[in-house]
């Protein structure tokens, strides 16, 4: 199922990103481009980050920026950005971040199955390491095709 959401248009590998804000903005670009989220969605993510700190850094090396459905989500969507050199998100226990998965859901229920499959992927240290080290989008798709 993750392959249905993480198409080649929604996966990016970038070595030129040096700060967390830029990483979040770049990870959002595929979803912004297709209209799954609005610019308000990014504004909400940054506002929550100011209030709560790096709430979306879930585990070592993994960030999943997201906002509430009413804050600019037009539909269910995922995008994935890998940062081979890692970026500091100011999450003491989890920096640097190598993988950013932008999540959008237009309601409170439609993304539950998607979150479950992401959790399974995130819990595989071996597969996450392979994603961090992937040189091509095809390599990433091959890994996520198992979820």
**How many angstroms separate the first and last alpha carbons of the chain?**
6
Q: What positions carry a catalytic annotation? A: 66
Contact indicator for 28, 65 with CB cutoff of 8 Å: yes
DSSP symbols for 92-134: TTTPSEEEEEEEE-SSSSTTHHHHHHHHHHHT-HHHHHHHHH-
């Amino acid at each position: 199922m993750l392959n249905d959401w993480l198409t080649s248009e929604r996966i990016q590998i970038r070595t030129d990103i040096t700060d967390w804000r830029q990483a979040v903005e770049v990870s959002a670009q595929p979803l912004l481009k297709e209209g799954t989220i609005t610019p308000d969605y990014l504004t909400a993510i940054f506002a929550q980050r100011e209030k709560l700190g790096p709430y979306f850094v879930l585990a070592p090396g993994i960030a999943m920026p997201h906002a509430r459905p009413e804050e600019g989500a037009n539909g269910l969507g995922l995008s994935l950005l890998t940062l081979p050199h890692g970026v500091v998100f100011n999450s003491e226990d989890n920096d640097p971040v190598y993988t950013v998965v932008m999540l959008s859901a237009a309601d409170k229920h439609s993304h539950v199955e998607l979150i479950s499959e992401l959790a399974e992927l995130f819990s595989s240290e071996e597969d996450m390491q392979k994603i961090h080290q992937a040189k091509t989008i095809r390599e990433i798709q091959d890994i996520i095709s198992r979820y």
